[in-house]
């Protein structure tokens, strides 16, 4: 019997309570020591052949008969009133099939009480109108023919400036999101700072980081009567369905969202976009399918970003290294249309055992493109500040930075005081330290030249990681066993590039006792009618995986019952392994291939159902890890070269070490980009982004990549779900930047508070240090 | 030669040889090879990511050499052998570089994969003994946002040992 439960969901650091319908579980977690046949093996992706052969159809590849191409007109002004929009010349251009603007679009709210096309524009790139035409060249030309009269307004970009009383207001209620800062406090911070022997403090700044998914945001939509079908490059097919259905006032069963493959998302593709509903409006008006995908420039203006942060931190400690007080005040500009923002205070609140902690975070609405979650939002920025300042504390106390962290290790969750379901942080420290050769630190570090007289300085640094990754209900799955003993696993999840299909096939194969190659996995289509969680917040494996195992267990139970009746063997003792049924008949062993039995059964079909059971409420579930970096600084050019990163992470049971190591390497590489090169730049005079492309916005290339050694703390967390697995997508990006910056300090004795750590910043700091020395 | 002819301004009939087959096409002189492959021929394995030669995702082979299809006019490709990702397999068997990409998990989302694979196919054909450093240099113009780089190098190294009809 299914029952309704209330469950705590932690997505991207935001905790909420949700209702979920769950069934009585059939399975319990595989034991830590249990020998598994398929799960935990380095199995190549089951859809690899599609991805290497051009056979994978991404949403941007979809072409439908009669399809039109659509394009937005965007504001060149960061803030302006829109006085007049004249689309008449665009409408007359041959090949133009529809033009939509505030003159003829619905005024239904889209975001922040604003319609799709409003009376004001609030960032350079804001949507003003859209055109659908026979091809994209005509659509581009038509957009240029739309005449708009703007009344430019003062604009504000800086988060602290936006909160001053005299700042221009983006909305009548002011620029502070929710009208108040987000505050947290435990203990007595003021008193504790007075009792501290040592205090370190600093102002930290992190850059605006762009997701720059290689496939841009976009949708291809088509109406068949009142049924709307959407091919969307999304991390959440059910989220897109719900948003579009709500906006159009359609029942959910009339909106179908399909996404078989996607070219990256990294958090930015968690809902429907304006492009989705505008494509649907244009398709409705023209009676033709419409494709609306952003181009690379638009992707850099209007598809979200990791907001820059300014963080004021202060840490107080006893002479023996015990942390007594920590305080953070953070500012982030969220852009014009954000409804929530990331919390940079998370690491300070959660990582260390410190009794007195206060965080206060101001999220400001500004005249820029909007915030969208980017892989471990807030924690990447917050961990940078916290872990760099922790190293400065270690310097001041003259203790080993790793020892300082171990000393302040939290045995229980610092906020809730609950025990952790499992915690591999100390193991990650130990593994990582061994792999990097932490003991060499004193011999390669500050002041010691690698080549005597040469410009290269070498250093080693490290940083910690904490993140959620629990996953949870609701998520549902079906497992169907066909008459030829082939199997279809069905869920409503989606693969954002992590290898979801493969791990789900592994889980089903393991539970069923059938070969991996007999299993097909169907995901990425709301038509299956099986809700699954968003593929963000390191949610997918630990949310959907357990539901698949439940469904497989249900199917197997039915199958064994049928087989025992058919073969006239006792149900008890009947097993299925490697596709062979084994049992006992009148004291004699019986062995039959499952395919033979199923073949005899005709068109009998077995359908197993499964749902994700709730998480235990008496423990805190987190992922943990540490990264160690070895770097070289060229003190003549200021170039920082990362030589090696050791990434040591505890994500519970490893389901597939091959795809997991890909995820970890990818996280490290994005963290390296954040540390050394990535930064969106906006002209303070015009409010325009100056590098909205892959030429001016630098992401890591093959030649920027260090040796990356992945060390997994592969231990099943048997208390949390029937797999013992936690999420792994976000943890590996979190500690990379502070590990690199701490290694740079080890090399040249300078601690950097501003990212990215570009050569000019390094040279400036070296010059200043030299002057101070004189 | 084709460069002595004047095309346009309207549509022009051209012949292209793609993956060993001849196509008679009606194109505008300003249309890129990437656009023709994707929109007219449905060969969508060629991806357009930046449209300005920054990322390498649209890489195809022109007479065996990698070119950016987003910067290549279709009319300039007449009389030349064009190979796209769809044309690499032989008799239903994947090219050794494709096999190596699967075995080493040298992709995550897969959007840059066509370009990476084709660049390596061309490079390894000329440098069958390339080491890791040379492979890195060869694909340095192909961006990957998921960060599959370490495994792309491993796939390149592995592919050297593979030939058609010798799956590992």
* Count of structural domains within chain B: 2
Q: Which residues of A touch B148 (CB under 8 A)?
A: 662, 665-666
With beta carbons less than 8 A apart as the criterion, state whether A435 and A648 touch: yes
Q: Is the pLDDT of residue A21 over 50?
A: yes
Angle at A734 between CA A733 and CA A740, to 5 degrees: 85
Q: Choose among A447, A437, A405: nearest CA to A630.
A: A437
Distances in whole angstroms, Cα of residue A125 to Cα of each of A56, A122, A295, A309, A683: 31, 9, 12, 22, 14
Q: State whether B105 and A662 contact (CB < 8 Å).
A: yes
- CB–CB contact A667 B147 (8 Å): yes
Q: Cβ contacts (< 8 Å) between B118 and chain A: which residues?
A: none
pLDDT value, residue B4: 60
State the burial class of residue B51 (Cβ atoms within 10 Å of its Cβ: 0-12, 13-18, 19+). Answer: buried
A to B CB pairs, distance under 8 Å:
160
**Long-range CB contacts (< 8 A, 24+ apart) of A749-755?**
A749/A446, A749/A447, A751/A202, A751/A388, A751/A391, A751/A392, A751/A395, A752/A388, A753/A202, A753/A203, A753/A204, A753/A205, A753/A385, A753/A388, A754/A204, A754/A205, A755/A205, A755/A206, A755/A207, A755/A384, A755/A674, A755/A675, A755/A679
At B167 the pLDDT is 44
Phi, psi of A626 (to 5 degrees): -150, 150
Could you tell me which chain B residue has the CA closest to the CA of A61? B44
Q: Which of B89, B110, B145 is the closest to A212 by Cβ?
A: B145
Of the three residues B87, B114, B132, the one that is the final residue of a domain is B87
Nearest-by-Cβ selection for B52 from A53, A658, A695: A695
- Considering only the beta carbons, identify the residue of A49, A296, A701 that sits closest to B50: A296
Nearest Cα of chain B lies from the Cα of A693 at a distance, in angstroms, of: 7
Residues B70 and B122 in one domain: no
pLDDT per residue as tens digits for the range B76-104: 999 999 999 999 999 999 999 999 999 99
Between A283 and A573, whose confidence is greater?
A: A283
Q: What is the CA radius of gyration of chain A?
A: 28
Q: What is the nearest CA distance from B38 to chain A, expressed in angstroms?
A: 8
Residue B6 lies in a domain: no
Check residue A446 and give its pLDDT.
64
Residue A451: pLDDT band with limits 50, 70, 90: low
> What percentage of chain A has pLDDT greater than the value 90?
91
**Are B79 and B114 contained in the same domain?**
no
Q: B59 and B102 share a domain? A: no
| Residue to substitute from B74, B110, B136, interface A, most A β-carbons within 10 A | B110
**C-alpha span between A702 and B152 (Å, rounded):** 9
B134 → chain A, closest CA residue: A703
User: Of A190, A730, A767, A770, which residue is the catalytic one?
Assistant: A730
What are the C-alpha distances in Å from A691 to residues A210, A333, A695? 11, 18, 7
Nearest to A697 by CA among A352, A162, A210: A210
Please report the pLDDT score of residue B1 as a whole number. Answer: 46
Residue A730 is a catalytic residue: yes
Of A634 and B8, the structure prediction assigns the larger pLDDT to A634
Nearest to A662 among B42, B57, B151 (CB): B151
Segment A139-157 shows an average pLDDT of: 98
Is there a single domain that holds both residue B83 and residue B100? no
- For residue B118, give its domain range: 96-166
| CATH (domain of B151) | 1.10.150.120
B118 and B155 share one domain: yes
Nearest Cα residue in chain B from A670: B147
Among A42, A46, A53, A732, most B C-beta atoms within 10 A, so best to mutate, is A53
Report the Cα–Cα distance between both ends of chain A, in Å, rounded.
78
Regarding whether B125 and B68 lie in a shared domain, the answer is no
C-beta of residue A234 within 8 angstroms of C-beta of residue A262 = yes
Q: Is the pLDDT of residue A374 over 70?
A: yes
Question: Final residue of a domain: which of B57, B87, B117?
Answer: B87
Q: Do A63 and B140 touch (CB under 8 A)?
A: no
- CB-nearest partner of A703 from B89, B98, B136: B136
User: B110 and A497: CB-CB below 8 Å?
Assistant: yes
Residue from the list B50, B107, B136 with its beta carbon closest to the beta carbon of A694: B50
Asked whether A717 and A726 are in contact (CB, 8 A), the reply is yes
Same domain, B81 and B101: no
3-state SS track over A154-216: CCCCCHHHHCCCCCCCCCCCCCEHHHCCEEEEECCHHHHHHHCCEEEEEEEEECCECCCCCCC
Are both B124 and B104 inside the same structural domain? yes
Q: What is the pLDDT of residue A15?
A: 78
Residue A223: its H or E element: strand A218-224
Mean pLDDT lowest among A348-352, A594-598, A608-612: A594-598
Name the residue among B52, B29, B43, B21 with its Cα closest to residue B118. B43
Q: Is the pLDDT at A651 greater than 70, yes or no?
A: yes
Determine the residue of chain A that is closest to B90 in CA distance.
A53
Task: Cite the beta strand spans of chain B per DSSP E.
Answer: 12-18, 21-27, 59-62, 65-68, 81-83
- Could you read off the pLDDT of A242-269 as tens digits, one per residue? 999 999 999 999 999 999 999 999 999 9
CB–CB contact A702 B52 (8 Å): no
Contact A700 B149 (CB under 8 A): yes
3-state secondary structure A25-48: CCCCCCCCCCCCCCCCCCCCCCCH
d(CA A721, CA A479): 19
Residue with tokens 């931190």: A313
Whether residues B129 and B146 share a domain: the answer is yes
Residue B51 lies in a domain: yes
The CA distance from B18 to the nearest CA of chain A, in Å, is 15
Of B61, B87, B113, the residue at which a domain comes to its end is B87
Task: With beta carbons less than 8 A apart as the criterion, state whether A61 and A233 touch.
Answer: no
Whether B52 sits inside 8 A of A296 (CB atoms) is yes
For the stretch A181-230, pLDDT in tens is 999 999 999 999 999 999 999 999 999 999 999 999 999 999 999 999 99
Structure tokens at A526: 């709301």
Condensed to tens digits (0 to 9), the pLDDT of residues A322-332 reads 999 999 999 99
* Contact check, Cβ <8 Å, B98/A52: yes
**Does residue B2 carry a pLDDT above 60?**
no
* Percent of chain A at pLDDT exceeding 70: 99
CA angle centred on A300, ends A469 and A731, rounded to 5°: 15
Is residue B101 included in any domain, yes or no? yes
Chain B closest CA to A749's CA: distance in Å? 30
Q: Are both B143 and B80 inside the same structural domain?
A: no
Element housing A486 (H / E): none
Beta-bridge mates of residue A575: A582
The per-residue pLDDT for A450 is 66
Q: Provide the pairing of β-strand A519-522 with A487-491.
A: parallel
* Cα A59 to Cα A233: distance, rounded to the nearest angstrom: 6
Give the Cα separation of A383 and A117 in Å (integer): 38
Mean pLDDT of chain A: 96
**Beta bridge mates, A759:** none
Question: Does some domain include residue B134?
Answer: yes
H and E: helices and strands count for chain B: 5, 5
- pLDDT grade for A445, boundaries at 50, 70 and 90: low
Report helix, strand or coil for B119: helix
> Do the Cβ atoms of B44 and A63 come within 8 Å?
yes
Q: Would residue A179 be called left, alpha or beta, if left means φ above 0 and alpha means ψ between -120 and 50 degrees?
A: left
Place of tokens 């080993």: A400
Predicted confidence (pLDDT) per residue in A32-48, tens digit: 988 899 999 999 999 99
Q: Within a domain: residue B3?
A: no
Helix (H) or strand (E) holding A617, with range, is none
Contact A49 B94 (CB under 8 A): yes
Structure confidence at residue A586 (pLDDT): 86
CB-based contact A665 B150, cutoff 8 Å: yes
Angle at A201 between CA A199 and CA A203, to 5 degrees: 175
- The answer to the question of residue B67 being in a domain is yes
pLDDT value at B163 more than 80? no
CATH number of the domain at B58, please.
3.10.20.30
What is this model's ipTM? 0.96
Do residues B113 and B145 share a domain? yes
Residues 6+ away with beta carbon under 8 Å from A203: A310, A311, A312, A313, A753
CB A326 within 8 A of CB A314: yes
* Residue matched to tokens 């095309």: B7
User: Which residues of B fall within a CB distance of 8 Å from A295?
Assistant: 51
Asked if the structure places residue B5 within a domain, the reply is: no
Q: Which residues contact A455 (CB under 8 A, 6 or more apart)?
A: A634, A635, A636, A637
Domain membership of residue B157 (yes or no) is yes
Please name the residue of chain B whose CA is at the shortest distance from the CA of residue A499. Answer: B108
CB-based burial label for A465 (10 Å; 0-12, 13-18, 19+): buried
Whether residue B166 is predicted with pLDDT greater than 50 in this model: the reply is: no
Question: What confidence category does residue B168 fall into, taking pLDDT thresholds of 50, 70 and 90?
Answer: very low
Q: How far apart are the C-alpha atoms of A583 and A16, rounded to whole Å? A: 48
């Amino acid at each position: 019997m299914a029952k309704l439960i209330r469950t705590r969901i932690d997505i991207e650091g935001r905790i909420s309570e949700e209702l979920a319908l769950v069934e009585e579980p059939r399975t319990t977690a595989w034991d830590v020591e249990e020998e598994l046949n398929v799960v935990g093996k380095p199995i190549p992706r089951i859809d690899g052949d599609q991805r290497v052969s051009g056979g994978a159809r991404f949403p941007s590849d979809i072409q439908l008969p009669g399809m039109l191409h659509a394009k937005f007109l965007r504001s060149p002004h960061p803030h302006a009133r829109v006085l007049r929009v004249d689309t008449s010349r665009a409408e007359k251009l041959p090949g133009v099939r529809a033009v939509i603007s505030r003159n003829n679009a619905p005024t239904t709210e889209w975001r922040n009480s604003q319609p799709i096309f409003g009376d004001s524009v609030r960032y350079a790139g804001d949507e003003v109108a859209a055109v659908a035409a026979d091809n994209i060249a005509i659509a581009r030309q038509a957009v240029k023919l739309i005449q708009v009269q703007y009344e430019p307004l003062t604009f504000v970009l800086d988060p602290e400036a936006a909160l001053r009383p005299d700042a221009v207001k983006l909305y009548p209620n002011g620029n502070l999101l929710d009208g108040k800062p987000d505050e947290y406090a435990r203990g007595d911070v003021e008193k504790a700072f007075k009792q501290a022997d040592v205090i370190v403090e600093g102002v930290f700044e992190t850059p605006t980081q762009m997701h720059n998914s290689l496939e841009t945001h976009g949708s291809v939509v088509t109406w068949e009567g009142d049924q709307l079908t959407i091919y969307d490059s999304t991390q959440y097919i059910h989220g897109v369905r719900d948003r579009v259905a709500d906006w159009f006032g359609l029942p959910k069963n009339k909106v179908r969202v399909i996404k078989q493959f996607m070219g990256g998302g990294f958090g930015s593709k968690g809902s429907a976009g304006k492009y989705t509903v505008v494509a649907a409006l244009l398709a409705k008006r023209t009676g033709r399918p419409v494709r609306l995908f952003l181009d690379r420039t638009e992707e850099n203006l209007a598809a979200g970003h990791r907001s820059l942060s300014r963080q004021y931190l202060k840490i107080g400690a006893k002479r023996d290294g015990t942390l007594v007080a920590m305080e953070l005040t953070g500012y982030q500009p969220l852009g014009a249309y954000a409804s929530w923002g990331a919390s940079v205070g998370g690491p300070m609140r959660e990582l260390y055992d410190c009794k007195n902690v206060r965080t206060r975070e101001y999220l400001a609405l500004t005249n820029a493109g909007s915030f969208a979650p980017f892989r471990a939002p807030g924690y990447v920025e917050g961990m940078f500040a916290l872990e760099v300042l922790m190293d400065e504390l270690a310097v001041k106390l003259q203790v080993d930075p790793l020892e300082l962290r171990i000393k302040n290790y939290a045995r229980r969750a610092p906020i809730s005081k609950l025990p952790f379901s499992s915690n591999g942080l100390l193991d990650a420290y130990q593994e990582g330290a061994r792999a990097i050769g932490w003991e060499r630190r004193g011999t390669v570090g500050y002041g010691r030249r690698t080549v005597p007289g040469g410009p290269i300085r070498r250093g080693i640094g490290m940083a910690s990681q904490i993140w959620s990754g629990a996953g949870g209900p609701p998520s549902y799955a079906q497992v169907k066993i066909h008459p030829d003993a082939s199997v279809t696993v069905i869920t409503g999840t989606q693969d954002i590039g992590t290898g979801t299909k493969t791990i789900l096939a592994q889980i089903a194969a393991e539970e069923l006792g059938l070969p991996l190659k007999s299993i097909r996995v169907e995901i990425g289509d709301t038509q299956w009618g099986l809700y699954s969680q968003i593929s963000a917040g390191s949610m997918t494996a630990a949310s959907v995986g357990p539901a698949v195992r439940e469904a497989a267990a249900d199917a197997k139970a039915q199958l064994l019952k049928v087989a025992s009746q058919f073969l006239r063997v006792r149900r008890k003792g009947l097993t299925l392994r490697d596709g062979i049924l084994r049992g006992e008949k009148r004291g004699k062993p019986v062995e039959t291939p499952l395919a033979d039995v199923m073949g005899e059964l005709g068109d009998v079909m077995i359908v197993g159902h499964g749902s994700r059971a709730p998480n235990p409420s008496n423990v805190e579930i987190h992922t943990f890890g540490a990264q160690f970096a070895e770097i070289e600084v060229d003190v003549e050019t200021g170039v920082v070269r990362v030589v090696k990163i050791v990434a040591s992470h505890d994500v519970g049971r490893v389901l597939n070490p091959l795809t997991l190591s890909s995820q970890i390497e990818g996280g490290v590489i994005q963290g390296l980009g954040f540390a050394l090169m990535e930064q969106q730049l906006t002209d303070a005079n015009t409010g325009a982004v100056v590098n909205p492309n892959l030429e001016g916005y630098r992401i890591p290339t093959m030649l920027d990549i260090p040796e990356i050694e992945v060390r997994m703390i592969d231990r099943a967390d048997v208390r949390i779900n029937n797999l013992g697995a936690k999420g792994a997508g976000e943890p590996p990006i979190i500690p990379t930047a502070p590990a690199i910056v701490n290694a740079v300090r080890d090399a040249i004795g300078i601690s950097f508070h501003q990212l990215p750590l570009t050569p000019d910043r390094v040279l400036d700091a070296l010059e200043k240090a030299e002057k101070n020395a004189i | 030669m084709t460069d002595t002819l004047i095309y346009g301004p309207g549509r022009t009939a051209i012949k292209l040889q793609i993956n060993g087959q001849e196509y008679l096409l009606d194109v505008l002189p300003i249309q890129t090879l990437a656009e023709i492959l994707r929109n007219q021929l449905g060969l969508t394995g060629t991806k357009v990511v930046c449209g300005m030669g920054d990322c390498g995702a649209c890489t195809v082979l022109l007479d065996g050499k990698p070119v950016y299809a987003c910067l290549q006019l279709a009319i300039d490709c007449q009389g030349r052998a064009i190979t796209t990702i769809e044309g690499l397999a032989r008799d239903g068997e994947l090219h050794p570089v494709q096999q190596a990409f699967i075995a080493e998990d040298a992709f995550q989302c897969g959007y840059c994969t066509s370009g990476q694979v084709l660049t390596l196919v061309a490079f390894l054909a000329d440098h069958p003994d390339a080491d890791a450093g040379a492979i890195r240099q060869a694909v340095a113009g192909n961006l990957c946002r998921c960060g599959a780089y370490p495994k792309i190098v491993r796939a390149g190294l592995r592919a050297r040992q593979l030939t058609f009809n010798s799956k590992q």
